[in-house]
Structure 1
Amino acid sequence: MNDYSKPARTRFAPSPTGHLHLGGARTALYAYLLARKTGGQFLLRIEDTDRKRLVPGAEEEIMEGLRWLGIQWDEGPDIGGPYGPYRQSERKEIYQQYARQLVEQGHAYYCFCSPQRLEAMRQEQQRRKEPPHYDGTCRRLDPAEAERRVAAGEPHVIRFKTPKEGTTTVRDFLRGEITVENRTIDDYILVKSDGYAVYHLAVVVDDHLMKITHVIRGSEWLPTFPLHGLIYRALGWEEPTWVHLSVFLKPSGKGKMSKREAADLMKDGYSIFIKDLKGLGYLPEAVVNWIALMGWSYDDHTEFFTMQDLIEKFTLERLNPAPAAINFSKFDHFNGLHIRALPPEELARRVKPFFLERGYQVDDERLLRIIPLIQERIAGLDEAPDMAGFFFKENVVPVPADLVVKGLSVAESLDLARRVLKALEALPDIRAEIAEPYMREFVAQSGLTAGQVFGLMRVAITGQKVSPPLFESMEVIGREKVLQRMEQAIYLLEELLQKEGLSEKSLDTPLES
């Protein structure tokens, strides 16, 4: 059991080698929740020692993504803190100091093998169908000779001297004790020939010096987990609580997401990258809610969580190590829940950029009147312009065929449109509470259904077959524009009638006037 009365120090330590994705965001979220729940600190540390794989702008994108999600760090490369620097590339000398200490204490050694020799060794191991591993040539060197070769400037790396007998046991909070045969653990490189430490040394040194109490990270680190435990023990340091999270599977549940599949998702309006989700119409609150429940649960029925709810309710004990399939339908569901939970003013602020992007001139006062009409009907912010763009158009031009009422001919639909216009012109006030009862009485006397009459009005007035509530929409649009749009519909139906080579006199049974 974890003691939640003690302040936890947690960290998110991404490599700036690509986009921040859902898996990384979830790792950051869980670490953040534990720190906030216990009154501790959450750190951001950039693990950029793999200089060849760095992507320009990736560090800024990671920070921007975390901020958008509402995950703010207490210490980090941009704001500093008492245990900096918070970029590993700026901590080179610190790692070299501890690497030398490991060499002096007999837990590591200098290796002078050339890349060519190592490649030949790997090929020979493959030929013998052995797992790739270092053969220990330099492990057997006399330490004094190794020191002389280092002093002479001979290129070298520093390798960890893994015990070759017995076993190593490490404890993961979710999986319990994990025991491996030491002979299966390679003599991993700790410091490369360019002087940069690799992840295995840097992560241990940083987590210790930054006083990290809980290491929450992806399960891809489980294979080298015993090595990290051995390095901690070789340096005589107390290990943190280790928590390796569940794997994210692609939506089918079969295997991890590939780059090609991620590209295919974008065509369907989905993405696994945080940078894309805002533009796709998702709320950060919904992303947080969704990813929190991919690997953690509070009970078997509660599904709606704000960040504050999660801080209060989060516990490590409720994490699940089983793989979690990414379910985008569930994501849309959560997005809808969080859209409906927003105050109208806030929803207006968030949808406005989507209208502007589509070229609409947005009147804030009108937008606020529209929000109650669409808030229950959209599952994404990006849906708002399609649902409600007609409010900001001077004119709408419906597809003429859509104005032909189901069960009626073109001429009958035209006749109905004229009668609807006449009825609307007779209305002194277009407020919904006045217009709706009046037009329902019109329907009752017409011998048609509400679906037929209101369907025609909807297409004529909004230009769409699906829209927010008709009479509330008419009220926002205003009487003058409503009448103009009905006149436009009549004109389009007249054109359609002419194209079909028909005349209004061809009606066998004209509608009553």
Structure 2
Amino acid sequence: MTTPSTAPDATPRLRVAPSPTGDPHVGTAYMALFNLAFARQQGGRFVLRVEDTDRARFNPTSEAQLYDTLGWLGLRWDEGPDVGGPYAPYRQSERLETYRPYVERLIADGHAYHCWCSSERLAAMRDRQQKLKQPTGYDRLCHGKTREERAELEGFSETPVVRMLVPDDAPTTFEDVIRGTVSAPRPDDQVILKADGFPTYHLAVVVDDHEMGITHVVRGEEWISSTPKHVLLYQWLGLTPPRFAHMPLLRNENKSKISKRKNPWARLAWFQEQGYLPEAVVNFLGLLAYPPAKGEDGSDVEKFTFEEFSRDFAWSKVNTVGPIFDLKKLDWLNGQYIRDLELGDLTSRLVPFLQADGVLGESPTMGELARLKSIAEQIQTRVNLLSEAAPMVRPFYVADDELELAQDALDGLKDDAPAVLDAAIAALDGLHKPDGVLGENIAANQWHAPQIEAALREAIVEGMGIKPRFAFGPLRTAVSGQRISPPLFESMEILGKPSTMARLRGLRERLG
């Protein structure tokens, strides 16, 4: 047994300890953020520990997904299974021999005992207690008995578990960094070592946090009821407990707990798949249980970096009321981050989503990427998610005769659409491809957005007397195939004159 320090003046060591039982939960990132923010502020260490003792629910791909998603968010750990560290190994399944001496000591000191009850007997016991409206909990049939004595009774299992022997006067209050003095129900005789030789969470978390020198245990409020069990184990083993901080649980709008079964966005990877920016997700998670800073004018500053969040962090500011996971707020915030991206950065981030949608190939050419950068400039203020870009970008990469015209765009055309298209074709025919000279030297009849707009306004708005809001609908449909698209004149410039004219003529022919 090692004895790392968890004294108040020790260097802060915090950890996040997920179980690899499926796709990583967004709550894991939420906990990791608050742990990491405090660790960085205090010059401490942040540890990733994989708690894989639940072998029935173990998912072999979950650990890799955990590294990918937390890494995508930039919530990097100092020690962990993949990077090592002074307290390795960091997977509980590789630490089984670590727990055995602690179990033996608890048994020797009378704080734990073997239990040979079968799962069938335990289930029947719980059913009986519930029917009689009694508190559920183990009835201590095995306590004080030898294996031979217990084998003579019903419901015997050959391989025992080990249970805590919780006294009637067990302490049920503890100090919480966020909540102050907290009271919890008296625990029952919790299993601490399973029949398969693996420790349960309650033993492993105490042993590992001690062995790894964890000074602050930050976890969800659902663990409040288990903390008295952990406090007892610390006392019985003569160990200094860490400081506890129980974060409020994330909630749906109806105040229910979010779950991966009911909420697709409870999967951490979902945010990456939908095109949220990692910095926006981190920002949003910070806002869920922490008040925004105040600006010079007293208004809330809701957009901040991780470094700013960490610098300002204080446990006393954490709101204990379960925060509502408002996706509309996240969409808005993500849009703000997209607006602030440098154009080259936005272009790079769009590429994987456009490849996934088949807009771009696996190895886009320099010309395709240059065109994408021009398109990105036009749609930057029109998307809140990177995944929303594909429908707006696709028309720029399809052949003119393969452009699909959305039915709602066609249905929205008025009777004057053929005449509008005729006027547009005639007006634009006089513009020519630019010679590369920019600025004040651009000729009045070159193919640039301002010249395109001027020619079309003269021909349609002034020449035909159609109000601007109605004048360009047929052109938008012809060029993009959609009722709503990136800015029309800039789109025509990016497409170039040959494609633009071909699309205008194509729709005109279709309308007869």
TM (norm. structure 1) is 0.86
Instruction: Say if 2:161 is the partner of 1:157.
Output: yes
Question: What's the secondary structure of 2:143's corresponding residue?
Answer: helix
Check whether the contact 1:290–1:331 (CA below 8 A) recurs between aligned residues. Answer: yes
Alignment of 1:400-439 (within 5 A): 402=409, 408-409=414-415, 412-427=416-431, 428-439=445-456
Which residue identity lines up with residue 398 of structure 1 in the other structure? Answer: L
1:447 partner letter: G
> What CA distance in whole angstroms lies between the structure 1 residues aligned with 2:419 and 2:248?
64
Q: Structure 1, residues 86-115: CA drift from partner, whole Å, max 9, x if none? A: 011111111111111122223222333344
Query: Relative to 1, partners in 2 of residues 1:42 and 1:458: Cα closer, same or farther, differing over 3 Å?
Result: same
Q: 2 CA distance for matches of 1:343 and 1:120? A: 64
**Is the 2:406–2:483 Cα contact (8 Å) retained in structure 1?**
no
Matched, 1:51 2:55: yes
1:390-469 correspondence to structure 2 within 5 Å = 390-395=395-400, 396-399=403-406, 402=409, 408-409=414-415, 412-427=416-431, 428-442=445-459, 443-469=461-487
Q: Which runs of 5+ in 1 are unaligned?
A: 147-152, 495-513
**In the TM superposition, what is the alpha-carbon distance from 1:56 to its structure 2 partner?**
2.5
- In the alignment, residue 344 of structure 1 is paired with which amino acid? L
Show the counterpart of 2:510: 492
Extract structure 1 runs of 4+ deviating beyond 6 A. 3-6
Q: Which moved more, 1:83-92 or 1:447-456?
A: 447-456
Distance 1:294 1:429 in 2: 52
- Kindly indicate whether the alpha-carbon contact (under 8 Å) linking 2:428 and 2:455 is maintained by their aligned counterparts in 1: no
Aligned to 1:384: 389
What are the Cα deviations for residues 46-95 of structure 1, in whole angstroms up to 9, with x where unaligned?
Answer: 11111111123111111111111111111111121110110111111111
| Partner AA of 2:450 in structure 1 | E
Q: Aligned in 2, Cα 1:403/1:95: closer, same or farther, shift over 3 Å?
A: closer
2:266 is the alignment partner of 1:272:
yes
The CA distance in 1 between the partners of 2:458 and 2:9, in whole Å, is 67
d(CA) in 2 for partners of 1:114, 1:5: 46
Please give the alpha-carbon distance, in whole angstroms, between the structure 2 residues aligned to 1:94 and 1:67.
29
Instruction: Give the one of 87, 97, 103 matched to 1:99.
Output: 103
Residue type of the alignment partner of 2:420: L
SS at match of 1:351: helix
CA deviations on 1:5-36 (whole Å, 9 max, x unpaired) are 97421111011112112212101111111112
Letter in 2 for 1:463: G
Q: Note closer, same or farther for the CA distance 1:52–1:402 as it changes in structure 2 (3 Å cut).
A: closer
Q: Distance in 2 between matches of 1:309 and 1:417?
A: 53
1:345 maps to amino acid: G
The answer to whether the Cα contact below 8 Å between 1:6 and 1:38 also exists between their aligned partners in 2 is no
Corresponding position of 2:140: 136
Tell me, in whole angstroms, the C-alpha distance in 2 between the residues paired with 1:485 and 1:28.
52
Aligned partner of 1:221 among 214, 220, 223: 223
After TM superposition, give the deviation of residue 116 of structure 1 in Å: 4.3
Counterpart of 2:89 in structure 1 is: 85
For residues 415 and 55 of structure 1, do their structure 2 counterparts lie closer, same or farther at Cα, with a shift above 3 Å needed?
same
- Following the alignment from structure 1 to structure 2, what is the Cα–Cα distance between the partners of residues 5 and 97? 28
Q: Per the alignment, do residues 440 and 256 of structure 1 end up closer, same or farther by CA in structure 2, a change over 3 Å counting?
A: same
**Cα pair 1:405 1:413 within 8 Å, conserved:** no
Partner SS for 2:472: helix
Distance 1:349 1:233, change over 3 A: same
Closer, same or farther: CA 197–487 of 1 in aligned 2, 3 Å: same
Alignment check: 8 A CA contact 2:184 2:225 kept: no
- Asked whether 1:366 is paired with 2:366, we answer no
> Which range moved further: 129-138 or 215-224?
129-138
Residue aligned with 1:165, SS: coil
Alpha-carbon spacing, 1:169–1:403, altered in 2? closer, same or farther (3 Å): closer
3-state SS of 1:123 partner: helix
Partner of 1:284: 278
| Partner residue in 2 for 1:298 | 292
Does the Cα contact within 8 Å between 1:200 and 1:228 map onto a contact in 2?
yes
Question: Structure 1 residues 379 and 126 mapped into 2: Cα distance closer, same or farther (>3 Å)?
Answer: same
Taking a change above 3 Å as real, the CA distance of residues 163 and 280 of structure 1, as seen in their structure-2 partners, is same
- How many Å separate the matches in 2 of 1:154 and 1:462? 72
**What residue number does 2:355 align with?**
356
Task: State the alpha-carbon separation in 2 of the partners of residues 155 and 393 from structure 1.
Answer: 67
Please give the TM-score of this superposition, normalised by the length of structure 2.
0.86
Partners of 1:16 and 1:358 in 2: how far apart? 30
Structure 2 unmatched runs, 5+: 1-6, 151-156, 295-299, 432-444
Name the structure 1 match of 2:437.
none
- Tell me, in whole angstroms, the C-alpha distance in 1 between the residues paired with 2:262 and 2:125: 36
Deviation, structure 1 residue 142: 8.0
2:171–2:228 CA contact under 8 A, matched in 1: no
Rounded Cα–Cα distance in structure 2 between residues aligned with 1:166 and 1:74 = 36
Q: Which moved more, 1:412-421 or 1:292-301?
A: 292-301
> What is the SS of the residue equivalent to 2:274?
coil
Q: RMSD of the alignment, in Å?
A: 2.5
Structure 1 residues 115 and 471: alpha-carbon distance in aligned structure 2, compared to 1, 3 A threshold = closer
